[in-house]
């Protein structure tokens, strides 16, 4: 039997506090979880690791598991929105159309 619910003598015996008696502070060097830490509890909801340097995006719901976009992009690419229901992607910067820029600039110019 555990010592006052703190020190278990075997696996799965005892617990760290209860809903009625909570610990004020704890110092833990390593924590191993058997299930992913959910978004609602401050985690990502992911069971696996992520791609290094990749952008993390929210899940498809407020508490859904976070997602990593497919790539980290390449030099000179920009992160571009693909709309509200899709993950962003890295894409080349679009070429500038100076004719349109001049026309827009003239339309906004007030004499």
- Asked if 56 and 66 touch (Cβ cutoff 8 Å), the reply is yes
**pLDDT value of residue 2:** 46
**pLDDT value of residue 53:** 86
**pLDDT value of residue 108:** 58
* Residues of the chain under the 70 pLDDT cut: 1-17, 97-111
**pLDDT value of residue 49:** 81
**pLDDT value of residue 14:** 62
Provide Rg for the chain, Cα atoms: 25
Domains of the chain, residue spans: 39-108
pTM given for the model? 0.55
**pLDDT value of residue 98:** 67
**pLDDT value of residue 26:** 75
Residues contacting 78, CB < 8 A, separation 6+: 90, 91, 92, 93
């Amino acid at each position: 039997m555990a010592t006052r619910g703190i020190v278990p003598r075997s696996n799965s015996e005892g617990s760290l506090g209860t809903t009625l008696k909570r610990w004020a502070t704890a110092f833990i060097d390593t924590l191993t979880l058997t299930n992913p830490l959910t978004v609602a509890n401050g985690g990502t909801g992911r069971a696996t690791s992520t791609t290094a340097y990749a952008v993390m995006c929210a899940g498809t719901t407020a508490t859904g598991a976070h997602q990593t976009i497919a790539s980290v992009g390449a030099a000179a690419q920009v992160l571009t929105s693909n709309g509200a229901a899709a993950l962003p992607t890295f894409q080349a910067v679009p070429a500038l159309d100076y004719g349109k820029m001049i026309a827009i600039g003239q339309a906004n110019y007030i004499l």
